[in-house]
Chain A
Amino acid sequence: MTSKPIYGLMAEFDNPSALVSAARSARNAGYRKLDAYTPYPVEELHEALNLHKNKLPLLVLIGGVFGCLAGYGLEYWTSAVAYPLNIGGRPFHSILSFIPVAFETTILAAAVTAVLGMLALNGLPMPYHPVFNVERFALASRNRFFLCIEAADPKFDRERTAKFLEELGPREVSEVAE
């Protein structure tokens, strides 16, 4: 074992419930910079890792409000200001008939913000990530469940964290090269 800097320590588990309880223990032990990798979504992990609160809902709301105002504004400007046309005697500013388009642009802008915001917040696309340096990590898309405590965590200590992870009963604990 050399003293080369590492990205973190990774523990491999057989089933999701072992992973969830390990994640809970790690958070209870004070670790904050940790992440879990599973072949399919595990609802309880969100709770265990405290991942529910992020900025994405706020971004989507802002995107939606912007889409609504922009869509409605475009309709208002074209139909009532720039090129008013008398359509069957309806008022130029017809709130009712403007709603469907404003509704669609709301959804469009909110959905685009959701996708782009998600990518921006989780840093995708990411051509290189250290966790792939662990050979067995390929199983994360098959039938194994991984918990990684990152070296950037203030509580991280190569020896003590490794010992802590061993105590959680994993199949294996491995170091993740930078």
Chain B
Amino acid sequence: MSRNFNVSPELAQDIDALSNRARIAGGAALAVCGVGAVASPDQFLRSYLVGYLLVLGVVLGSLAILMLHQLTSGAWGLVIRRVLEAATRTVPLMAVLFLPLALGVGRLYKWADPAVVSADHLLQIKRAYLNVPFFMGRAVLYFGAWSLLAFLMNKFSAEQDAAGAHPASDKLQKLAGPGLLVYGATITFAAIDWIMSLDPHWSSTMFGILVMGGQGVSALAFVIAITVLLARRKPMCDVITPAHLHDLGKLMFAFVMLWAYFSFSQLLIIWSANLPEEIPWYLRRFNHGWQWVGLTLIVFHFALPFVLLLSRDIKRDNRRLTAIAIWLLIMRWTDLFFLIAPEFSKDSFAFHWLDPLAPIGLGSVWISYFLTQLKRRALMPVHDPDLEEALEHEPAH
């Protein structure tokens, strides 16, 4: 049986147009951010960190879901596999985009300031972990691990396309299990390094998995938006059915609940213990206007998507599901903003014009690069053992 899932000329045209527009918009936004970086480097780094983590969430969430699908299989993952793979191939770009943060460590993190450390006994004890050379070394390690996983998942997948199902499918499955463990470990430490250490006195053991839950939401929301876009043209208009969207919608729903569950659990544990090292982190977020950001998250990152995604009809509707997906991406930014921004403005709510501009710039440049990656390969894995099942009209999950 020969089926053609290559990017059709019409689709290629759409992708190129979108990619060009994203590149121009992203370039312009980043140029303005550059001006902001000269004017107020501290604010630039803060806004950049939030935007960077939003995009990184899509990339690493995609990597995790890609590996998860190798372990569980199912039609839902087959129709989005090429989108996920293209997203993982952007890890090197993410490493380059990390450079401003690496250069700005001294401005972002107070544990990197010797004057602060010398006056703080706890930070002197934590210096064995929280010091600049080790921080850089760990970042290199994270990007090395993510690049390797992304490289191997894509390499084996290309082998499967070229040579048929058997040996490559086994390799993909064997890599996915240990790969997910590596993902879990690296994200946990990256979350500690890049977000938690903004308040070096604070600690929460569930923080890593909270970040992972958020990355799952980001990745699925992005993938749903792209899948609906692809489904407008050949070849994917013959592949994607409401049943596929239904499955993806259910997964996004599950990740929204998972994120809410992790967020609530962390709050409940810290609030119940009420320890002086832990509770100030939440006290900052309960006062001075930050509580409204928190309330926004409860209502619009959890309650509203929860109620809407309960509906079977909404999950099977391209337009409405995409609207929720894009909304959730905005909420992902809000959540990261809520995790990071109060650390720099403890006594009053603060919002800078760089806060929205940095994620728009980073996101657009990234999407442009992602689309060029997406175009490179056929949009379905032609030799996957589960392909026929996925192409059925109503796949049995």
Contacts and interface: CB of A to CB of B under 8 A. Distances in A.
A100 interface: yes
Given A43-B394, A43-B396, A52-B312, A96 B274 contact: no
Contacts of A88: 274
B264 A99 contact: yes
9 contacts: A47-B394, A52-B312, A88-B274, A96-B268, A96-B271, A96-B272, A97-B268, A97-B272, A99-B264
Given A43-B394, A97-B272, 13 more contacts: A43-B396, A44-B393, A44-B394, A47-B394, A52-B312, A88-B274, A96-B267, A96-B268, A96-B272, A97-B268, A99-B264, A99-B268, A100-B268
Interface string B383-397: 000000000011010
Interface string B244-288: 000000000000000000001001100110100000000000000
Interface string B370-393: 000000000000000000000001
Nearest to B272: A97
Contacts of B312: 52
- Nearest 7 pairs between A and B by C-beta? A43-B394, A96-B271, A44-B394, A96-B268, A43-B396, A97-B272, A96-B267
Nearest to B311: A57
Contacts of A97: 268, 271-272
Contacts of B267: 96
Contacts of B394: 43-44, 47
Nearest to A47: B394
B17 to A, nearest CB: 37
Interface in A34-55: 43-44, 47, 52
Contacts of B271: 96-97
Contacts of A96: 267-268, 271-272
A47 B394 CA distance: 11
Interface centre among A43, A52, A88, A99 (most CB of B within 10 A): A43
Interface in B66-91: none
Interface in B112-164: none
Contacts of B393: 44
A100 B271 CA distance: 14
Nearest to B395: A43
A52 B246 CA distance: 14
Interface in B143-191: none
Contacts of B268: 96-97, 99-100
Interface in A91-116: 96-97, 99-100
A88 B272 CA distance: 9
Nearest to A94: B271
Nearest to A43: B394
Contacts of A99: 264, 268
A45 to B, nearest CB: 10
A47 B396 CA distance: 14
Nearest to A44: B394
Nearest to A87: B272
A99 B263 CA distance: 13
Nearest to A89: B274
